[in-house]
Amino acid sequence: MKFSKLCTPTEHRMSRRQWLGAAAGTTAGLLGLGDLAQPAFAEELKKKRKQVLFVWIDGGMSQLETWDPKPNTQFGGPFRAIPTSVNGIQVSELLPRTAKQMHHLALVRSLCTKDNSHSAGVARIQRGDPKNRGVTYPFFGSAVAKLLGPGDSGLPPYVWIKPGSGGFMTEDAGFLGPKYGAIAFGDGKPPENLMRHKSLSAEDDADRNELRRLADQRYAKERRTSATEANSYVYEMAAQLQKRQELFDASKLAPRDVERYGTHELGRHMLLARRMLEAGVTFVKVNSYGWDTHGDNFNGHQNMVPKFDQAFSSLIEDLAARGMLDNVLVIAMSEFGRTPRINGHIGRDHWPEAWSLVMGGCGIKRGIAVGATNDKGTAVATDEHDIGHLFHTWFRALGIDPFETEYDNSGQPLPIAHEGCIAIKELLA
């Protein structure tokens, strides 16, 4: 079987620019404005560009110490509930800064999911738990990279800012193929050995890359192309990142921003996330680890939540001030919540039965709390929402109809979200 040669990402960007130019010209001609209308038309298209910030709080943030406090109850713990900028909505006293941004945000307090292990929960939540179809579904970041594309920034459509090591992480992509994996910035730094060696001139580097492209095309001509496509993609993205080294230059950061976000790890990574969104990256994931508080839950959250609060609230404040919340969907969540019952180690265990998340921005109503748990926080008292409902909601917020849009898995049509779920209408603007 023969497979057709694939064009490069650069060629796609050129064709999009040509299309935009033609579209602008056509619209201008219809309006009788000529070339004067083209910049305004292009700017309007840019305004409609959707992006996602996905903050993954790995291990399980406690809803009782954050979004759904139950003070003065059997399982409530030592922390108070405080008012927010939205009348009637309260959050934990560990979130004073985010409380002031609540008018930009929406809480979901009615999550009821199935898996209480990290190994199952992390994958299930980030894939949206579609029905078992014998293929590995993509994580949300890879799905958005596929469905929305890279835009015109030239930067990778899916970047992952995380502690530890970085590199090209293909696991998230599932059946979409390795091209739609994440380019991870370990500790917020660009990939190692990104820059061209001093002994190699720009001309020699260009010649070398052209030879590589020709070799890739020849190799792929009689073979399935997913691996060679991903290989070429990595080189193309590396070339683009070489041109944008200033994104990682901490010396260019405003000292006030560094102080506002925090000099701790999460603060630095959230500030880099803002810069990536400003630069036009489609999907930015930020990881925070260490939230699995089976022991000493209250001291653990008293240490970790304020760091999240500082960085997250600063980012929401900045996105709102820049007018970016209209285009950027913001989500902060874990793989599950934590048990109301406090164990013998003064900790909370895994609890997928009744937990919460926060979101806001593009396509989402602001200043609301959807769903509720009972007085002790042991169960959802309103309609329960599984992760499939959230995927439908997120896709709708991004302007994607989950019932009209399908993946193409080598000729096999597959739904992008669980067919047994629908969007949470109360959340959609």
Does 132 lie in the same domain as 60? yes
Does 69 lie in the same domain as 35? no
* Structural domain includes residue 16: yes
For 307, other C-beta atoms within 10 Å of its C-beta total: 17
Does 402 lie in the same domain as 359? yes
Does 160 lie in the same domain as 26? no
pLDDT of 21 strictly over 70 = no
C-alpha distances out from residue 45 to 40, 115, 377, 406, Å: 9, 41, 45, 24
* Structural domain includes residue 276: yes
Torsion of Cα atoms, 329 then 182 then 291 then 122, to 10°: 90
* Structural domain includes residue 62: yes
pLDDT band at 228 (very low <50, low <70, confident <90, very high): low
pLDDT band at 166 (very low <50, low <70, confident <90, very high): confident
Cβ 388 vs Cβ 372: under 8 Å:
no
pLDDT band at 223 (very low <50, low <70, confident <90, very high): low
Does 73 lie in the same domain as 166? yes
* Structural domain includes residue 234: no
What SS3 state is found at 401?
A: coil
How many domains does the chain contain in total? 2
Cβ 170 vs Cβ 178: under 8 Å:
yes
The pLDDT value recorded for residue 250 is 84
C-alpha distances out from residue 42 to 9, 119, 153, Å: 21, 44, 14
Cβ 279 vs Cβ 155: under 8 Å:
yes
Cβ 339 vs Cβ 61: under 8 Å:
no
Q: Which CATH number belongs to the domain containing residue 325 in this structure?
A: 3.40.720.10
* Structural domain includes residue 240: no
* Structural domain includes residue 226: no
pTM of the prediction? 0.83
Q: Domain range holding 59? A: 50-192+252-427
Instruction: Return the minimum-mean-pLDDT range out of 42-51, 112-121, 332-341.
Output: 42-51
Instruction: Return the minimum-mean-pLDDT range out of 3-12, 51-60, 194-203.
Output: 3-12
Summarize pLDDT for 345-363 with one digit per residue, the tens: 999 999 999 999 999 999 9
Does 72 lie in the same domain as 42? no
* Structural domain includes residue 246: no
Calculate mean pLDDT across residues 399-427.
Answer: 95
Does 140 lie in the same domain as 282? yes
Does 104 lie in the same domain as 77? yes
pLDDT band at 75 (very low <50, low <70, confident <90, very high): very high
Calculate mean pLDDT across residues 57-70.
Answer: 98
Does 27 lie in the same domain as 117? no
* Structural domain includes residue 411: yes
Does 282 lie in the same domain as 366? yes
pLDDT band at 287 (very low <50, low <70, confident <90, very high): very high
Does 281 lie in the same domain as 147? yes
Summarize pLDDT for 80-118 with one digit per residue, the tens: 999 999 999 999 999 999 999 999 999 999 999 989 999
Does 269 lie in the same domain as 164? yes
